[in-house]
Amino acid sequence: MRLGWMLRWPARMAEGDSGAPDSMVYVADEQTAGRGRGAHGWESPPGSGLYMSVLLRPRLVPADALWLSLAAGLAVHDAVERVASLEADLRWPNDLLFGRRKFCGILSELNAEVTRIRHMVIGIGINVHQQQFPPELRELATSLYIETGRDWPRQELLAALLQSLDREVNALTAPRELVQATASILTRLERLSSWIRGKQVYVEGLDGYAGVTEGLDSRGFLQIRTPEGVKTVYSGGVREQKLKR
């Protein structure tokens, strides 16, 4: 699989429904309705970041879709390290941070039947040139510029990201290679993320709960040790919970 790309507004699920080809990459200079998980917005003014969506038609069952999202996070990590020499932290399932401040969010949407994925859209937003954020976001968000004090060419970052993402997608969708590819993802996440083990967190949702992260299960889902036992996070946001003194 080779990722082809074109400069235009990010892909929507309707693009996949209407027959857009596999592996198309849609890049935008800005988003007027950028969004993250749940009802959260995403600040994406003109010329400030890298905003892209990837349309995939992988030969995977829906139960394996999470691996593509996790792989996308690893691809961003690799691209940022190669271009800007920065070591990001991966927050499950697919946010990237420097310290406690987020600079990249990834949102995946799926159209599937019981036994196959019709298409999947992975949206990636990376803060690149922002020099500051509104007061309500300054403790939560950062950018490559804020972290390094210099601008980074978005074209170079895009090229590195496409190369890394192409490699990750190829590994996951290669015939008879899924077991090896997922094992590699688990190993790298354990090494590159401070959130996978030993992090005091709160899992948001209707029945939110607190606990300590205890690694990923064999399917890539986060496990949380709580007073009631180990729980597996299938959905919902995960945020750090500071211990009370």
CA distances (Å), origin 53, targets 34, 87, 221, 228? 12, 23, 23, 39
The rounded Cα 67 to chain-centroid distance in angstroms is 11
pTM: 0.89
- Rounded Cα–Cα distance for residues 78 and 74 (Å): 6
The rounded Cα 135 to chain-centroid distance in angstroms is 25
56-73 per-position pLDDT tens digit: 999 999 999 999 999 999
| Nearest one of 86, 19, 76, 81 to 51, comparing CA atoms | 76
Q: How many helices (H) and strands (E) does the chain have?
A: 5, 12
pLDDT at 223 over 50: yes
Q: Which two tokens stand for residue 145?
A: 């510029």
pLDDT of residue 34: 52
Q: In the predicted model, what is the mean pLDDT of residues 138-147?
A: 96
* Range with the poorest average pLDDT among 15-19, 110-114, 155-159, 193-197: 15-19
114-136 per-position pLDDT tens digit: 999 999 999 999 999 999 999 99
| Nearest one of 118, 162, 123, 116 to 22, comparing CA atoms | 118
pLDDT of residue 244: 58
Q: How many beta carbons lie within 10 A of that of residue 206, not counting itself? A: 5
pLDDT of residue 243: 61
pLDDT at 81 over 90: yes
CB within 8 A of 216, min separation 6: which ones? 92, 186, 189, 190, 196, 222, 223
Q: How many beta carbons lie within 10 A of that of residue 151, not counting itself? A: 12
pLDDT of residue 229: 97
21-58 per-position pLDDT tens digit: 888 898 988 766 555 555 455 556 788 999 999 999 99
